Structures are given as structure tokens and as C-alpha cells.
Amino acid sequence: PLHSHPAGRHFLQIPGPTNVPDRILRAIDNVTIDHRGPEFGVLGKSVLGGLKKVFKTQADVVIYPSSGTGAWEAALVNTLSPGDLVLMVETGHFATLWKKLALKLGLQVEFLEGDWRHGIDPAQIEARLAADKAHQIKAVCGVHNETATGVTSNIAALRKAMDSSGHPALLMVDTISSLGSMDYRHDEWGVDVTVAGSQKGLMLPPGLSFNAISAKALAATETAALPRSYWDWKEMLAINPSGYFPYTPATNMLYGLHEALEMLFAEGLDNVFARHDRFGEATRRAVRAWGLEILCQNPSEYSSALTAVVMPDGHSADAFRKAVLQHFNMSLGQGLSKLADKVFRIGHLGDMNDLTLCGTLAGVEMGLEVAGVPHKKGGVQAAMDYLTQSSMAALARA
Ligand code: PLP
């Protein structure tokens, strides 16, 4: 590498894990305490309560010391039985991984084909559920923000479609790359299980995952016959109200979570979402100015957390990303499975401000030049113009 010990900070602009703020790193760097002692209960209660506000729920939230995949598994094993039919939509790589996990658990999956450029079509779900007169489908599972594509799905519309069909299936939603960066409402949108992780909008390192659980999902545990032990909600929920956990929790990560929640609430969730919306818009303006193509095809489904950019034909996205890393010490997201080498992803979520975004986009624009990717100049300028104007407009309103 050109910079084996580069000066300045590495730009971690993948769509998660995101840059961890110093405040959170300092919080994690505290002595580990007795997880059965009095001090811990205060911490446990505080983070469990704070999380509810982020999920926008009055219902229970559980915390696992695992990556997001564990919370995917927990959602399924707590609510379903072997051979149950689950309806999923191929929005991209992560929807496909969740499907594979469901199959490994012994569930049946009907996987509605997708082109990795669009979100879930609520009308298609409504029609499929309406046709399922025998109510064989036990759950509909969808990814709110497909991290592989930068395409979102409209969960409120999906809920409405499910209600119109009059079908009783559970609704499970993966918000691993949207929670804490894009508007999400577990209760209002009638979601039964929301799955999330620590390493994206919550600005923490990887290592914690979450389930928010509706009363209907909790009732489903009574008949759900898939084997479960470590992921069993009941064990968690029995002891969580006192702030404790059935097994050794990730104490230091919980210090970090406590700090992250304070930061999100101090900024205000609506301001956090608006900040990410601005980053998404600024990034898309840059991409268009470069003359490159945004992978997401429907503007109402643009992600505010990341933008996937299509490489011009005959050019390697991975060679471009490698050049960006070597020359400018920045990591961009790679294309996953079907999209390998065809797209790169700009993460614009987490602990970021206008100048972090400008630096990121400057790294992309310079990278296009050094990697010999055909493009027009002026992407960073287009982003700066938008950020400047929207910042002035916001100040004038205040
Ligand atoms: N779902 C989505 C939308 C993701 O972005 C990811 C990871 O990037 C996962 C699930 C899997 O989570 P993990 O890698 O933390 O197990």
C-alpha cells in the first residue's frame, strides 16, 4: 500500500460498520463491572428503555451479544415452527441471506424474484396473501434498507397491503442498516418483529443485535416449535425488566450503546433523519454530475444511508475501490454477490457531517480520475452547492 501508516483518519465510508465517534470509544473504554451487581441494573434499564424510543415502540426490545445475523435467526426461531411457509422478497444480497438462513432452519420460503433495483411491491404481497385462503403463509419478511443496493422498501405501505388482504401473517422487518439513520416506526407500522444491529446508524462497533417484539409475535412463541435456547425471548424478557440478562451481556458495548443513545436523543431523531436525507440527496447529485448511474431506479425508494453506484461498462468497481484505498485511505463498499465488481457503495450514515461527506465525495471523484474511470468533473461541486443552499435555507427557517 502507498500508506502503510497513513496520517489522518481512515475514511470508513462503507455502509456499516460506520465510523465510531470518539465519545462512544471513550465510553466503551471503561472498566467492566459485575453484570449482576447494582450498577449494572441501572445501565441495563437505561439502554433497554432508550432503545424503545429508537424503535418507536412501547413493546419489548431484546439485546443479543451477536452480529445482526443472530437477530435474524432469533426473529424466526421464536415465532415459527418447522415447515412453516414464509414469504420473502428478493430485494438484494441481504434478503437472499435471510432466506438462506430460514431454509437452514427448516422453514419453507416462497421467494418473490426481484431485480436488485427495486424495493418490495406492496400490491404483489397483497395479491399473494389474498390468494392464500388457507393462511399457509405464517410470516412476511422484508428488508427495510437493502444495504447491498441502496434501495428501501415502504414498510407502512407493506403493512397497509397486508391489512387489506385480511391475512394474519406476521410482519418481520430487517432494519440493520436503517435504524438510527432513517425514519422507522415499529408500533405505528404494525411490525411484529424488527431486527437491528449496532454497527450502522447506532454508530457502535459490530457486536450487538436487537429484536423489537410485538404482542402478536410474543403470543406466537407459545406455539412456535423451532428449537431455540440462546435466542429464546422468554428467558430474556423474564429478567430484562430489572435491567439484567440471562447470560453474560457485552457490558462494554452497552456502555457504548448508552452513549450512542444520548447522542441520538441530543441531536433529536428527526434531525438525525433529516441529516441523512441531505447526505443522500447531496451524494446523488454528485453521482449524476459525474455522469454515473444510481443503482436504485425508483426515486421514492432512494436510501438515505448509502448510495450504490453502477460502474460504466468495461470498468472494474473493485479496481476503482482499490485505487481509492491506496491513494486516499478510504474504504468504499464493494458490490456483493450478483453485483460483485459492478457497483461500489458510498456509505453516508452514522457519525457524519457535511465536511465528512464532502471529503468522501472528493475521494470518489479523485479515485475515478486515478482509476481511469470515464466521468465528468463537478460532482463534489454539485454536492457542495446543495449542502450550502440547504444549510442556508435551514438557518433562515430557524
Ligand atoms: N441485514 C442487513 C440489511 C445488513 O446490512 C447486514 C449486514 O451488513 C445484515 C443483515 C447481516 O448482519 P451481520 O453482518 O451483522 O450479521
Enumerate the domain spans of the chain: 22-265, 268-397
Out of 64, 66, 69, 231, mutate this one to test ligand 1's pocket (max ligand atoms within 8 Å of CB): namely 69
For 118-148, write each residue's pLDDT tens digit: 999 999 999 999 999 999 999 999 999 999 9
Q: What is the pLDDT of residue 5?
A: 66
Residue nearest atom 13 in ligand 1 by C-alpha distance: 68
ipTM over 0.95: yes
For 216-242, write each residue's pLDDT tens digit: 999 999 999 999 999 999 999 999 999
Cβ(68) to ligand 1 under 6 A? yes
Amino acid at 246: P
| Mean pLDDT on 231-254 | 98
Q: Is the pLDDT of residue 161 over 70?
A: yes
Q: How far is the CA of 68 from the centre of ligand 1 (A)?
A: 5
Q: Quick one: pLDDT band at residue 6, thresholds 50, 70, 90?
A: confident
- Residue 345 class from Cβ within 10 Å (0-12 exposed, 13-18 middle, 19+ buried)? buried
* Residue 9 is assigned to a ligand binding site: no
Q: How far is the CA of 339 from the centre of ligand 1 (A)?
A: 16
| Mean pLDDT on 109-113 | 98
Cβ(94) to ligand 1 under 6 A? yes
For 276-294, write each residue's pLDDT tens digit: 999 999 999 999 999 999 9
| Mean pLDDT on 175-201 | 98
For residues 16 and 382, give the distance between their C-alpha atoms in angstroms, rounded to a whole number.
25
Give 236's contacts (C-beta < 8 A, 6+ positions apart): 62, 245, 246
Cβ(92) to ligand 1 under 6 A? no
Q: What is the pLDDT of residue 68?
A: 98
Q: What is the pLDDT of residue 397?
A: 92
For residues 334 and 342, give the distance between their C-alpha atoms in angstroms, rounded to a whole number.
9
Q: How far is the CA of 234 from the centre of ligand 1 (A)?
A: 24
Q: What number does the ligand 1 atom closest to the CA of 144 have? A: 3
For residues 232 and 238, give the distance between their C-alpha atoms in angstroms, rounded to a whole number.
11
- Residue 1 class from Cβ within 10 Å (0-12 exposed, 13-18 middle, 19+ buried)? exposed
**Intrachain domains 22-265 and 268-397 with the same fold:** no
Strand, helix or coil at 237? Answer: helix
Task: Encode 104-132: b = buried (16+ Cβ within 10 Å), e = exposed.
Answer: ebebebebeebebbbbbbbeebbebbeeb
Task: Encode 299-328: b = buried (16+ Cβ within 10 Å), e = exposed.
Answer: eebbbbbbbbbbbeeebbbeebbebbbebb
Pick the CATH number of 22-265 from 3.30.43.10, 2.60.40.420, 3.40.50.1970, 3.40.640.10: 3.40.640.10
Q: How far is the CA of 69 from the centre of ligand 1 (A)?
A: 6
The CATH architecture of the domain made up of 268-397 is Alpha-Beta Complex (3.90)
Share of the chain above pLDDT 70, in %: 99
Q: Say if CB 320 and CB 373 are below 8 A apart.
A: yes
Q: Quick one: pLDDT band at residue 7, thresholds 50, 70, 90?
A: confident
For 306-352, write each residue's pLDDT tens digit: 999 999 999 999 999 999 999 999 999 999 999 999 999 999 999 99
Q: What number does the ligand 1 atom closest to the CA of 143 have? A: 3
